[in-house]
Amino acid sequence: MRIAVVALGKIGLPLAVQFADAGHEVVGVDVQQSVVDLVNAGTEPFPGEAHLQEKLAELVPAGRLRATTDYAQAVPGADAVVLVVPLFVDEATGRPDFGWMDAATRSLGEHLTPGTLVSYETTLPVGTTRGRWRPMLEEVSGLTEGEDFHLVFSPERVLTGRVFADLRRYPKLVGGLSEAGAARAAEFYEAVLSFDERPDLARANGVWDMGSAEAAEMAKLAETTYRDVNIGLANQFAVFADKAGIDVYAVIEACNSQPYSHIHRPGIAVGGHCIPVYPRLYLSTDPDASIVRTAREHNAAMPGYAVDRAAELLGDLSGLRAVVLGAAYRGGVKETAFSGVFATVAALRERGAAVSVHDPMYTDAELTALGWEPYHLGEPADVAILQADHADYRGLTPADLPGLRLLVDGRHITDPAAWAGTPRIAIGAGR
């Protein structure tokens, strides 16, 4: 097949590589010329994705994968077009911002030719594929969905850093606007993906037809919103445990020893492109989902709670040298999307602290560009708040932060024994 992949980001590029590695001719489209140039040189544009560089080095010289900024070079005559353009959420309103996706869809429609399968993999509010993309594609292309082309939704379900492994491990969900479209999508994905044996599943691992685009859209939102709600519950337990002097981690371990309990870990923040974002997409079409809204609000308040804990123990933070450990939204990933660092820094500054930020994955110049004063281990500090669970932080000791009066471990990863003699608290570990 000839396949076009629109948007060569941390999901789109591995998808394009996967399709090419399965033996198909793939053209990737991206608005950034620098990304296109790197891909065409067989070089990964971003670090950290397992096996991506080695596969690019093989597939690009073999002529199986190339990139362009021009839809006219990729879309016409394609058997399938897979779109993975980012969908943003407006911080002020919590509503989805379709700007980039609308632009990409119109560009796609301008070059769409009969016989093409169009699959959206970007996570969407329920009803978007049928109610927004179909009329837009039909209007721009002059073609009729279900007759001239097929439109489906098939959500990406992978984690950056392990995309190729996750593509094999998890069932590929598809939802069409018609039975014929769903059948075409199943045929396509079966030709470009391979699946691990999963005896734990109720049915065979592979392509699962969800019966409608709306069901597929909801499945992706539900599986991610579940995690946000679960973490919100864990954080509520943690806040109560702090008040009651209970170690919530021991409680959670005990609960999860029973097979019907799956409580997640509490922590200072829920970040990344997915977990804090997709509940808002769900809420945009189900405003009555009070449980979802409450959990999202509770998780968003956790950085402020961590700073409040510090103030309870130290008193006035004004003028204190405060360090936030971790700019990334989670350990081992160089990404600040919806990271708790932003709210933590803001809360410390509101209390008058002089704030600096440390992260082993970021250079001083990168931290400065993000608006922060870089911190180096070994420099004096009064209070430190551990925000990201980087492996480097597990072995932290008071000697790494001279003069420290309090460590707030927002991820509960440091060794309490190493902090004997220096005040240390962990969210949910009791007082």
Q: Which residue among the candidates 172, 220, 255, 334 is catalytic per the annotation?
A: 220
250 membership: H or E segment, kind and range: helix 248-255
End-to-end CA distance of the chain: 61
One-character DSSP codes across 378-400: TS--SEEEE-S--GGGTT--GGG
Sequence-distant (6+) residues with CB within 8 A of 358 are: 323, 324, 325, 326, 327, 374, 375, 376, 377
Q: Return the bridge partners of 67, or none.
A: 28
255 catalytic residue (yes or no): no
Tell me the residue type at 46. F
Q: Which residue among the candidates 55, 172, 274, 334 is catalytic per the annotation?
A: 274
How many helices (H) does the chain have, and how many strands (E)? 15, 16
User: Would the CA dihedral through 88, 93, 98, 100 be positive or negative?
Assistant: negative
Residue 379: HSE in the Cβ half-sphere, 13 Å Cα cutoff: 14
Give the Å distances, CA to CA, from 188 to 76, 118, 129, 163, 219.
Answer: 18, 11, 18, 19, 20
Tell me the residue type at 351. R
10 catalytic residue (yes or no): no
Give the Å distances, CA to CA, from 292 to 123, 126, 226, 287, 393.
Answer: 17, 15, 9, 9, 32
Q: Is 321 helix (H, G, I), strand (E, B) or coil?
A: strand
Sequence-distant (6+) residues with CB within 8 A of 235 are: 266, 267, 298, 299, 302, 427, 428
Which residues are tagged catalytic?
Answer: 220, 274
